Structure 1
Amino acid sequence: MELYIFNQDRELAGIVESFEYLRWTRRYSQCGSFELKATATPENTALLKEGNILWKSDDEEAGIIEHLELSQTDSETITASGRFATSFLARRIVWQTETLSGDLSACVEQLLNNNLISPSDPARQIPGISFSSPNLGIPISAQVSYRNLLDAVTEMCDTSSIGIKTVFAPATGIFTVTLYAGAVSQAVFSKEYENLTEQTYTESAADYANSALVGGEGEGAGRTFVAITGGSGESRREIFVDAKDLRSEDFGGDYTDALTFRGQSKLSELAIRYSFDASVNPHGNLIYKTDFDIGQTVKVVSKTWGVSMTTRIMEIEETYDADGQSVGVTFGKSELTIAQKIRSDMSQVKTALSASTGVSEVAEAIGDLTEVSPAIQGDTVADTINNLFGKLPALEVIVGAGTISAGQYALHNMAPGDSIYFTSWSGNKFSDQPSDDGHIFLVKHSGASTGNGYQRAMGFFISRNTMTFYVISVFLYNNPSGQANWLSFPLGALTDIAAAIRGSTFAASINNVYNAPVSGVRIADGAVTGAKIADRTITTAKIAAAFTDYSTTEQNTGRIWIDGRTIYRKVVNLGSLTNATPKSVAHGISNISTVTGLTGIATNGTFFLPLPLARYNNFASQIGLYADTTNVVVEPGNDRTAFTGFVILEYTKTI
């Protein structure tokens, strides 16, 4: 046996020369799997990559590496594991509703063609995969929607006792998905015949059911039902199969057959499980792949246990290690795993939720609205919730003239839409003193005056005494007669402020302080004021502007000329230049003191000329440039009408 590795292009990449062990598990109606452990040599590490293909030379099938693990104890090892190539089906779902009717092979071919081999969307195609199967004589009538493609196909195979495998052709790189019916073998396995070394027999009826009531479309008395019965009395075990997703319009006269097939599939899944796990004696009288193979029907006998069963080989696990090859065989169907049980139960939930008539099942989870208190009961769940909100306790508080508090005064002076929080409320006064009944948060109503001499605010109040939550409306008297004493106490009176800086309000007085000279005596133009400091301060913004900002509006560069005046900058658009005649353009700058810089450019889109332009050997092509207190003047020496000009002026101002 050789282990060949093919890359994802299905080209031979190399051979695994040595390995510690290989577990190769073949399954009849399900996808097989493998695990390979080898020394992490550079060669093995290069070959064993995710997505590469592992093919065993004495087998039809190949494995796809899906998981890698590197570990180090005494030596470095690499473990590669994955599933057989049938797992390509697991990469697709049944994209839309597929109505299946006919032989099992035709139905599986339909699913594969529409979702993997030749789907309508080319992006969903997996190239190099084909399907081949004889007519199996197993009729199918079913509907599949949005399920994992592998699960849908293997479930039908398992129910019908049909095998599935994906044969790999190394020469072409083609994978062929194949269905087959296992043959009948004359092999008899028994410890008494010394062809088994270990054996475990399992019989489980924990999930067993033999009768099913299948519910199709419709509601109540109008719903379609099909009964599949078996046994009576104590031996009868019943289940309900929800098949609302199957619609008669999709099956016509075969609708009953479709419901029956759904029920039979479920009963097959829940049949009594008989299984025999055994290790085959490699030196016994039966030779693997000659006398017995995967999917074949054989006889298993244990005289000691009194067991004799004719059953199918559902799984064969080949193990290769330092001791050689060993073969483990599973006869019959083993118990459902937890994952299989969950998947089965969830399929029933999905059926109820996806069915067009399955609303009642969802409503059961929400509950009956008639159980809700009549005080808040609405026509819908949403109405009921809204009614509950509407039943919250509410307060209306009238704050009249003469009942003045700090909170009331502040609320009166708020703009509509402003919000305010008070730490307490007592009677009809709002305070910032934490000594009364609760906490309140208010937003002033945008309508302000109610027209009756009051203003309105709305919000929430939490009573400290009763821990009650209220929605609150406050009507505030529109002309409070005064303000709380504490509001004027820390500020003092305006008459206490020095006359030199006193304004009509506290805010005006503060602004006067900000703009006043450093000393009490004003020092003419030499006074250091906040405005002057701000004008002369070289800020980050001004530094950035000095080096980066060019605008047709005046910019303060933050720099100072030799006479101490601020330097400004402005760009003047000259428009199109003239043909050997001067052109004057008003720069729009008032109070120019000194022009500290005058440069520019002229361009026709291809050439960029500096302004002014001087030429040592072609005086006629020169361009002159100057400015006065009103205009910028440009003087082309020849025809420059194809050029547009811009001038950068830097200057100081008299004021």
Structure 2
Amino acid sequence: MAEIISALTASGHKSICVYDIRLNLLGRIESWVSLVWPERYNVYSDTQGAQLELHDTTALQALCRPDRYLWLVGSDRLMRIVSAQKSDHKLVIAAKDAACILDERGHTDTLSNFAAEETLRSLVSSAAAWPCLELGDAAGLTDTYSGEVKPGSLLKLVEQVCQELDIGFRVRFDQPEAKLLFELFRPKLDPNARYAPQYGNLTDLTYTESITDYKNVCVVVGAEGTATVGAAENTGSARRELIVDATSKKKEGGQSQADYLAALRAQGEQELAKHTRLENFRFTPTGRITVGMVVEASLPGTDIQAAARITSVTLSSQKGKNSVSTEIGTPIIRRKQ
């Protein structure tokens, strides 16, 4: 699979090309009032897309029409224009990642327990054709999705599966071949990459540990029995009890005592899951980063380390000045041995 290319963090002049729905080049934009260009890992629904603000001209109005694509030169993503608004001598363009094309296609079956990559690729390839959209190379992922997906938007299905399995997906722009390629990807941690404040590529380190709402034993009191789950053997300050009143819960017709107590235990486990010890380590990686890469960082002066995947990279450009912001997923925290 082709390596992810990021034009967002590269220095130098940036420009945007405009393509029609069949990827014919229509024009080029060399300057703008402002630009926001986000690239994401596996979340596209209900998120902000690209926004381009231009000085209004008749030529730009004719060029930047809905259902045309914007390409930040050097990127591997396209943004499809969904609206163009003229106001106060400005032309404001809103666009969505080309991955949102999948929201224009649906699936009609309920699916469960399936090979993730094979099934998602099959669903995309069997959907009604979209101009220039094809399958890219398979990533060779062997994950099985054990959950269930209902009929609906193909985009929502792909998002659901990929988010639960930590898989990225994109509709990659192959500019030389004039193709849009649906691909899954999941970069691994690069052991040679070093991120730390002293290297100038890591900022905003924040570590939080909280027991504000922490409980580790749950006693569920039902109408016909009591069940205890969690660290029931703990004593003293190590025991943090939560009592759940389930006295309105009675045996259903024909339910055995064992099944009734099992239902109480299940309720207790659900309640305990809401009262965990919170530990979080947040940080902002900078430098030459790409969507999907895994960054490992250490908290100075401690034995705490965390690895997190970069879930989005956003370029903001205004008056010739560029800045890049990142978002990371939930860090996996560990302590040095």
Q: TM-score scaled by structure 2?
A: 0.66
Higher relative contact order, chain-length normalized (CA < 8 Å, sep 6+): 2
State the SS of the aligned residue for 2:31.
coil
Residue of structure 2 in register with 1:160 after alignment:
165
1:109 aligns with 2:114: no
> What whole-Å deviation, never above 9, does each CA across 1:519-547 have from its counterpart, x for those lacking one?
xxxxxxxxxxxxxxxxxxxxxxxxxxxxx
Structure 2 stretches lacking a partner, 5+ long: 1-13, 217-228, 233-239, 243-272, 332-337
Q: 2:193 aligns with which of 174, 187, 192?
A: 187
| Paired position in structure 2 for 1:44 | 60
The 1-side partners of 2:211 and 2:61 are apart by 47
2:15 equivalent in structure 1: 2
Check the 8 A contact 1:24/1:35 in 2, yes or no: yes
* Distance of aligned partners of 1:187 and 1:101 in 2 relative to their CA distance in 1, 3 Å threshold: same
Q: Displacement of 1:310 after TM fit?
A: 1.4
1:189 partner SS: coil
Q: What is the one-letter code of the residue matched to 1:97?
A: T
What is residue 18 of structure 1 aligned with on the other side?
31
1:128 aligns with 2:111: no
Structure possessing the higher radius of gyration over alpha carbons: 1
Alignment counterpart, residue 313 of structure 1, candidates 290, 298, 310? 310
Contact 1:21-1:36 within 8 A present in 2 as well: yes
Paired residue for 2:260?
Answer: none
Per the alignment, do residues 197 and 127 of structure 1 end up closer, same or farther by CA in structure 2, a change over 3 Å counting?
same
Q: Please tell me whether the aligned partners of residues 200 and 278 of structure 1 are also in contact (alpha carbons under 8 angstroms).
A: no
**Is 2:95 the partner of 1:71?**
no
Q: What's the CA shift string for 1:487-540, capped at 9, x where partnerless? A: xxxxxxxxxxxxxxxxxxxxxxxxxxxxxxxxxxxxxxxxxxxxxxxxxxxxxx
Which residue is equivalent to 1:298?
A: 295
In 2, Cα distance between equivalents of 1:271 and 1:54 = 45
Measure how far apart 1:273 and its partner are. Answer: 8.7
Q: Kindly indicate whether the alpha-carbon contact (under 8 Å) linking 2:195 and 2:285 is maintained by their aligned counterparts in 1.
A: no
* 88, 96, 100: which one aligns with 1:83: 96
- Summarize the Cα distance change of 1:71–1:198 in structure 2 as closer, same or farther, 3 Å threshold: farther
Q: What letter matches 1:151 in structure 2?
A: K
User: Could you tell me whether the CA contact under 8 Å between 2:111 and 2:148 is conserved in 1?
Assistant: yes
Unpaired segments of 5 or more residues in structure 1? 117-123, 211-229, 237-266, 281-286, 335-655
Q: Is the 8 A contact 1:134 1:179 kept in 2?
A: yes
Question: Cα distance, 1:39 vs. partner?
Answer: 1.1
1:98-134 residue CA offsets vs partner (Å, 9 max, x unmatched): 45522x21121232234x2xxxxxxx43232112322
How far, CA to CA, are the matches of 1:179 and 1:170 in structure 2?
A: 19
1:294 to 1:203, Cα distance in 2 relative to 1, 3 A? farther
Shift in Å, 1:333: 3.5
Q: Secondary structure at the match of 2:38?
A: strand
Identity across matched positions, percent: 21
Bigger fraction of residues in helix: 1
Q: Which residue of 1 aligns with 2:106?
A: 93
The 3-state SS of whatever aligns with 1:19 is: coil
Partner secondary structure for residue 90 of structure 2: strand
Shift, 1:231, TM fit: 6.1
- Please state how far the C-alpha of 1:14 moved relative to its aligned partner: 0.2
Report the counterpart of residue 54 of structure 1 in structure 2: 70
Query: Is contact 1:29–1:163 with CA below 8 Å preserved after alignment?
Result: yes
Closer, same or farther in 2 for the Cα pair 1:331/1:177, shift >3 Å? same
Amino acid at match of 1:113: S
In structure 2, the residue corresponding to 1:158 is in which secondary structure? helix
Q: What is the total number of aligned residue pairs between the two structures?
A: 262
Q: Do the aligned partners of 1:36 and 1:81 also contact (CA within 8 Å) in 2?
A: yes
RMSD of equivalent CA atoms: 3.6
Amino acid across the alignment from 2:39: R
User: 2:184 and 2:32 mapped to 1: Cα distance?
Assistant: 32
- Displacement after TM superposition at 1:68 (Å): 2.4
CA shift in 2, pair 1:110/1:196, >3 Å: same
Does 2:163 align with 1:147? no
| Distance in 2 of aligned mates of 1:131 and 1:71 | 39
